[in-house]
Amino acid sequence: MGGGSPMDLAKCVCLLVHHDPPLEQYAILRGGISRITSNMPRLIAVPTTAGSGSEVGRAALLTLSSQGKLGFLSPYLLPRAAICDPELTLSLPPLLTAATGMDAISHCVETYCSPRFNPVADSIALDGLKRGFHHILRATHDGADRQARTEMMLCSLQGGLAFQKGLGAVHSLSHPLGALTGKRLHHGTLNALFLPIVLRFNFDSCAEKMEAMARRLGLKNGAALPDRFARLNQELGLPTKLQEMGLTPEDLIPLAEKARQDHCTPTNPCPLELADLKRLYLEAWQGRPPGSYRNHGKPAGTVD
Ligand SMILES: [Zn+2]
């Protein structure tokens, strides 16, 4: 019971009930997927935030003090049941509502843009996106708004159901930052910040999908999407550049290689080279005012 991190921790606790330690041998990066068997107690997940979708996910992300951030993946990690009750999110403070909600929205956007063929997941993601987009401000500004809380809970659930299809550069860029020890950077806050920048970068590789998302959200065209998300972040009171979060370019550049190796990188709509990832980090560090995203496509110049 809790947000994404407590639910992921519960999955790993379940794993260790009948699997021998150490836990890290079951991580994706350690080739652990096939070592995870069905021999696990039943897990019932009860989310108290509307964001991670972990209650319907087969993955767990855990930061080990000795190993850094590790991902675990298995169909057996999927909770046996999920109880999604928006009443449990009524007391979530505004900034956490905004940040976790933007995580859910970024799941819907990124998995919809993933090039893997899964029209069922696409439909779920588009519907979740619409619910989240139209209710995140209401839920943030009035936590007691039950209808907005319900819609955000659905957005999170639908994002979690759909993202089996894979995510993209927003998550590739945010995972290494979230793993920085001593910084405690929030996953959803980072995703919110990267979303407009990545959408602008990916635009040419998923132009039709950008149009479809814009239509679903009632926007004029796909090119308006990055700017609209940048404005939404501002309206939600979320940071709009990484420098506001106490980071320096020197912190960021070494993370580009980790982002390239991230498990979400292969399902980004366009290939991500090391130089692209460095450039995206620096762009996120400098920030862009809303209104400057109109010229879609890759930004000019390279950073090595
Ligand atoms: Zn996420």
Query: If the chain, 304 residues long, is cut into consecutive pieces of 10 residues, what is the mean pLDDT of each piece?
Result: 95 98 93 96 97 94 83 95 97 97 98 98 98 98 98 98 95 92 90 97 97 97 96 96 94 96 94 97 89 57 37
**Residue 295 confidence (pLDDT):** 52
Tell me if 192 sits within 8 A of 106, measured CB to CB. yes
Domain annotation covers residue 118 = yes
CATH code, 75: 3.40.50.1970
Domain annotation covers residue 300 = no
**Residue 294 confidence (pLDDT):** 63
**Dihedral sign (CA 45, 158, 64, 16):** positive
Distance from the alpha carbon of residue 18 to the mean position of ligand 1, in angstroms: 28
**Residues with Cβ < 8 Å from 182, sequence gap 6 or more?**
none
Tokens found for residue 8? 């992921």
Distance from the alpha carbon of residue 142 to the mean position of ligand 1, in angstroms: 23
Tokens found for residue 128? 């979740």
**CA atoms of 148 and 133, how far apart (whole Å):** 11
Distance from the alpha carbon of residue 160 to the mean position of ligand 1, in angstroms: 9
Distance from the alpha carbon of residue 51 to the mean position of ligand 1, in angstroms: 7
Distance from the alpha carbon of residue 99 to the mean position of ligand 1, in angstroms: 10
**CA atoms of 213 and 129, how far apart (whole Å):** 8
Distance from the alpha carbon of residue 105 to the mean position of ligand 1, in angstroms: 9
Tokens found for residue 10? 């519960």
Tell me if 88 sits within 8 A of 47, measured CB to CB. yes
**CA atoms of 165 and 150, how far apart (whole Å):** 24
Query: Are residues 271 and 208 part of one domain?
Result: yes
- Residue 202 belongs to domain spanning: 89-286
Gyration radius from the chain CA atoms: 18
Q: Which residue has the tokens 């979303």?
A: 195
| Residue ending a domain, choose from 62, 82, 102 | 82
Tokens found for residue 24? 């890290």
Distance from the alpha carbon of residue 187 to the mean position of ligand 1, in angstroms: 7
Distance from the alpha carbon of residue 11 to the mean position of ligand 1, in angstroms: 17
pTM (predicted TM-score): 0.93
Distance from the alpha carbon of residue 140 to the mean position of ligand 1, in angstroms: 18
Tokens found for residue 272? 């991500």
Query: Are residues 156 and 76 part of one domain?
Result: no
Distance from the alpha carbon of residue 209 to the mean position of ligand 1, in angstroms: 20
Q: Which residue has the tokens 């926007």?
A: 219
Please give all residues whose CB falls under 5 A of ion ligand 1, grouped by chain where several chains appear. Answer: 103
Distance from the alpha carbon of residue 112 to the mean position of ligand 1, in angstroms: 14
| Residue ending a domain, choose from 82, 103, 134 | 82
**Residue 69 confidence (pLDDT):** 79
Query: Are residues 139 and 214 part of one domain?
Result: yes
Distance from the alpha carbon of residue 149 to the mean position of ligand 1, in angstroms: 19
Tell me if 273 sits within 8 A of 176, measured CB to CB. no
| Residue ending a domain, choose from 37, 64, 82 | 82
Distance from the alpha carbon of residue 173 to the mean position of ligand 1, in angstroms: 11
Angle at 164 between CA 162 and CA 167, to 5 degrees: 85
